Amino acid sequence: MSDVVKIATRESYGNALAELGDKYENLYVLDADLAAATKTGIFKKKFPDRFFDCGIAEANMMGVAAGLAATGKIPFASSFAMFAAGRAFEIVRNSIGYPHLNVKIGATHAGISVGEDGATHQCNEDIALMRTIPGMTIINPADDVEARAAVAAAVEYVGPVYMRFGRLAVPVFNDKDSYKFELGKGIQLRQGSDITIIATGLMVNEALIAADTLKEQGISARVINIHTIKPIDREIIAKAAAETKLIVTVEEHSIIGGLGSAVTEVVCEECPCKVVRIGVNDEFGCSGPAVELLKKFGLSSDNIIKTVKQLLGK
């Protein structure tokens, strides 16, 4: 058996931008002195005249991106999620969201898996923040194939988009030849009738591992990948709620305001059922190796399995 290929979605982001730069001459990339880390340096090397380093001034960078969008350009403003969503929130809200400008925000190094950078850089609130901005589209891809497709879809979409990418290399499980990305559409990856596991980002692979293990133990778990958290696929969630009656959401984000909140909102309105949220509880992260931190905070297939079995009384 060949080894599983692992690629960080921030790498996917940088490579996708460089590829799309050939097709879209009005695509510009901005960074906040982090091009090596966000991987926008790949685009810079290929298209130096369309790359701008705005320095450690994320709010100003978002303002520049807004200006470029107002002149018909397609700007991708890039930084760590903590700075892109956190530090620059007011500018994103008022200068990009309010006029509904065609700005794409590439937020890398999101979540606990930032690892040794610690709590100050482990942004577990960015999805919650971006969800409050009217008209903001939010994408959280699960692997390299999905991340590249997401960037391509963001270019075509007219309006503000927030894309969330990770630092940690994660398994590539989607087939690049058959995968199809649709904004606002969830993807059912496993059939199941006992319970539904709804996951996003790097937790999708963990959900798949959990479902396959549960199947060996006689438990049928449906797995749904929600790559677009806003607008969310209400139909696929409501169908799962009606058919399995139990839902577990899994995300590398706070359980407050992220995927879990979005799913429970849909369930309450469409087809009420029990929903249990797995994510970062109401607490800050801490420094440590990414893989160990994911386990520490319960963001693992083992914890998904444990939670499902408890819910089913097995």
The full 3-state SS of the chain, as one line of letters, equals CCCCCEEEHHHHHHHHHHHHHHHCCCEEEEECCCHHHHCCHHHHHHCHHHEEECCCCHHHHHHHHHHHHHCCCEEEEEEEHHHHHHHCHHHHHHHHHCCCCCCEEEEECECHHHHHHCCCCCECCHHHHHHCCCCCEEECCCCHHHHHHHHHHHHHCCCCEEEECCCCEEECCCCCCCCCCCCCCCEEEECCCCEEEEECCCHHHHHHHHHHHHHHCCCCEEEEECCEEECCCHHHHHHHHHHHCEEEEEEEEECCCCHHHHHHHHHHHHCCCEEEEEEECCCCCCCCCHHHHHHHCCCCHHHHHHHHHHHCCC
Share of the chain above pLDDT 70, in %: 99
Domain ends where: 171, 200, 221?
171
Residues 126-136, mean pLDDT to the nearest whole number: 98
Residues 49-76, mean pLDDT to the nearest whole number: 98
Tell me the per-residue pLDDT of 161-183, one tens digit each, with 9 for 90 and over: 999 999 999 999 999 999 999 99
Residues 41 and 152 in one domain: yes
- 180 found inside a domain: no
Tell me the per-residue pLDDT of 68-124, one tens digit each, with 9 for 90 and over: 999 999 999 999 999 999 999 999 999 999 999 999 999 999 999 999 999 999 999
Residues 108 and 133 in one domain: yes
Residues 111 and 221 in one domain: no
Mean pLDDT of the chain: 97
Domain ends where: 171, 204, 230?
171
Residues 24 and 55 in one domain: yes
- 177 found inside a domain: no
Quick one: pLDDT at residue 1? 41
Count: domains in the chain: 2
CATH of the domain at 280: 3.40.50.920
Residues 151 and 257 in one domain: no
Quick one: pLDDT at residue 305? 98
The pLDDT-based confidence of 149 (bands split at 50, 70, 90) is very high
Domain ends where: 109, 144, 171?
171
Among 11, 19, 25, 58, the one annotated catalytic: 58
Quick one: pLDDT at residue 287? 96
Tell me the per-residue pLDDT of 186-232, one tens digit each, with 9 for 90 and over: 999 999 999 999 999 999 999 999 999 999 999 999 999 999 999 99
Quick one: pLDDT at residue 2? 55
Quick one: pLDDT at residue 100? 98
Residues 15 and 132 in one domain: yes
CATH of the domain at 51: 3.40.50.970
Quick one: pLDDT at residue 314? 81
Residues 166 and 198 in one domain: no
Residues 86 and 202 in one domain: no
Residues 28 and 137 in one domain: yes
Q: Is 58 a catalytic residue?
A: yes
Residues 152 and 268 in one domain: no
Tell me the per-residue pLDDT of 288-304, one tens digit each, with 9 for 90 and over: 999 999 999 999 999 99
Residues 136 and 87 in one domain: yes
- 32 found inside a domain: yes
Residues 69 and 212 in one domain: no
Domain of 25, in residue numbers:
6-171
Residues 127-138, mean pLDDT to the nearest whole number: 98
